[in-house]
Chain A
């Protein structure tokens, strides 16, 4: 199954990866091969087989509506590269204006 170069570039964009034209061509080729390989499962005879919704034979796994505190704020922030007054601080993400 061929994955076009444009599609590879689009995927890179969605994944926030910067790729050059050459890389896009290379990934397009490589991803096509991966798809071909994975495409083998399409050959499996599935007539009359119910679609698999979930791998485990489980349904309705619930928790009760109870509050169970887990982390203190200090613990939550301990690995944050930057913080400010109890917040995680990150680079500017305001996209408009």
Chain B
């Protein structure tokens, strides 16, 4: 029998604020434990939360980037559960009146099919502290760091619209790309500022009813998410095939080393959290003008950029996707293009080729590199003017990347100027022909392929500096005399 898979995601994203969401403690990763704390984020009695305005703006920004409706009226609720990293014994979150509802994100799945993944909601909440487990067995204990407690967090909840583990991964990569683009979050999975729980169920193909849902927790890399979902998809499929479908909804963990999911606990029912409105926080009234102002400040989004690159510059979908996918790369590309009057495709090739290769090698982002758009534009103009060959340009480019020097400086220092002097080249050409009578005879006998060899010899002799077009022309002239 065939089975269908249904996946929905809950993504937690730490917002890029200076201070925490309800107090003035620094929102910083990697500090000494318990150095950014106050009575508020330690849950001491009597401390009152006051909402960070920037956190609201960033949540709205995320909502706009994902085409959500921004609620004109919103409020905070208390979600109650006991865990030592939650010092108040409740989390301030949003239950029935979230800031953003009803968005969508378009992805292209591995089959090349366009899919619209609906966003159910985005709400603003506070982060919990961090727990470290120490020791084993009865002697074990836990250590708590509250630097993370109270960081501004949004939770993005999708509708169950994803149909495969691969689609889930593509969606998450796209989501990360957009949230970085609009500078809502740095979305670093390895630092926990972008985390995902996944709900998955499997049912017989064509059935109207979804299967029983499993929640996969603590998935801390894109690879882990896809692998855990694939494992679970298989497991649930096998259970159905054996006629023993799961009997309860479960929270399950992912064991990276063994490559399998494991049972953690039955899934709690929502009502167990006993949500109620937080009396410490007045509600939010979001004026249309405020939303419009945030909308105006949004940069052009990757999807819009991609379409424009294809239309305006005639780039392929793949090229446009690569260039538009990272904001820094797109900015570098566009800045170069403003300074360089030639073909956009030429710029695109250098940015996606040599530049991407060197950035990758050195683990740098475009903005961190010493190479500036001015230098690339100048170098491309030197190629167009015949001052340097394309081959030499690669050397120049690498030197620019590492030293930050201008292409002209490099060319002069290293004597890389292209030889375009006809009489100088003609003498060289005659010398090469004299040295290689065999290929010369071949060419004259109609084996025109020998020309390539002779061009190569001239280039070798000049260390790549000869103008290849001119060399070609001079060789033909001499050979056909």
Residues of chain A touching chain B, judged by Cβ–Cβ distance below 8 Å, are 14, 16, 53-56, 58-73, 76-77, 84-96
Knowing A62-B52, A62-B56, A76-B42, the reply to whether A91 touches B141 (Cβ < 8 A) is yes
Contact A86 B140 (CB under 8 A): no
Residues of chain B touching chain A, judged by Cβ–Cβ distance below 8 Å, are 17-19, 23-26, 32-39, 42, 50-56, 75, 80, 82-84, 131-135, 140-146, 253, 262, 264-265, 272, 274, 277, 279, 281-285
CB distance from B54 to the nearest CB of A (A): 4
CB distance from A29 to the nearest CB of B (A): 22
- Residue from A58, A59, A87 within 8 A of B34 (CB atoms): A87
Knowing A68-B24, A70-B25, the reply to whether A58 touches B282 (Cβ < 8 A) is yes
- Residue from B52, B264, B284 within 8 A of A63 (CB atoms): B52
Question: By DSSP majority rule, is chain A's interface helix, strand, loop, or mixed?
Answer: loop
Knowing A53-B75, A65-B19, the reply to whether A93 touches B24 (Cβ < 8 A) is no
Contact A71 B285 (CB under 8 A): no
CB distance from B248 to the nearest CB of A (A): 17
Contact A92 B143 (CB under 8 A): no
Contact A90 B51 (CB under 8 A): no
Question: What is the chain B residue whose CB lies nearest that of A92?
Answer: B140
Question: What is the chain B residue whose CB lies nearest that of A93?
Answer: B142
- Residue from B38, B141, B264, B272 within 8 A of A90 (CB atoms): B141
Complex CA gap A55/B146 in Å reads 31
Complex CA gap A14/B279 in Å reads 21
Contact A60 B284 (CB under 8 A): yes
Question: What is the chain A residue whose CB lies nearest that of B20?
Answer: A67
Q: B19, B53, B132, B143 — which one has the most chain A CB atoms within 10 A of its CB? A: B143
Can you list 7 pairs linking A and B with CB atoms under 8 Å apart? A14-B272, A65-B18, A65-B19, A67-B18, A76-B146, A87-B144, A93-B83
Contact A69 B141 (CB under 8 A): no
Contact B84 A93 (CB under 8 A): yes
